[in-house]
Amino acid sequence: ALDKMWHEDCLKCACCDCRLGETGSTLYLKANLILCKRDYLRLFGMTGHCASCQRLIPAFDLVMRCGELVYHLNCFSCYECQQKFCVGDRYFLYNNQILCEDDHERTRKSHLSSSTDASLYSK
């Protein structure tokens, strides 16, 4: 690690003292501190608010991003039907709202039909 050789007991997180060889192959170096992922994110990660529930997202939480919007994993669902998305599911961003494929299609058709109706009446 860091172009040096280490005893397993010597390569530890500066904050929590966990042995980095046991927590995975990733370590972080910041401000001359060797850190595990959790402590690095806790100390230096960005926090924000969930676009769905508006609650704070801790820096060490896994998130879903859609454009500039950030969501808790449990909040990443269709705005209309609240269907949770799984890996590989298609979703659409429409007016800053995440929609499943079915609701996106319904919204798009509804929007097209209302703009067609409006153009008929405006003549």
First to last CA, the chain: 73
Structure tokens at 77: 């669902």
Q: Residue 68 burial by CB count (10 A; 0-12/13-18/19+): exposed, middle or buried?
A: exposed
Higher-confidence residue of 99 and 42: namely: 99
The helix/strand/coil state of 12 is strand
Mean pLDDT of 39-66: 84
Q: What is the DSSP letter of 73?
A: G
Q: Which domains does the chain have, with CATH numbers?
A: 1-45 (2.10.110.10), 48-122 (2.10.110.10)
The phi and psi torsions of 70 (rounded to 5 degrees) equal: -125, 140
- 114 in Cβ contact with 107 (< 8 Å): no
Q: What is the DSSP letter of 75?
A: G
pLDDT tier at 109, thresholds 50, 70, 90: confident
Please give the Cα distance from 24 to 42 (Å, whole number): 17
* Residue-wise pLDDT tens digits, 15-36: 998 888 776 667 888 888 899 8
Q: pTM of the predicted model, to two decimals?
A: 0.57
18-37 residues labelled b (16+ CB within 10 A) or e (exposed): eebbeeeeebbeeeeebbbb
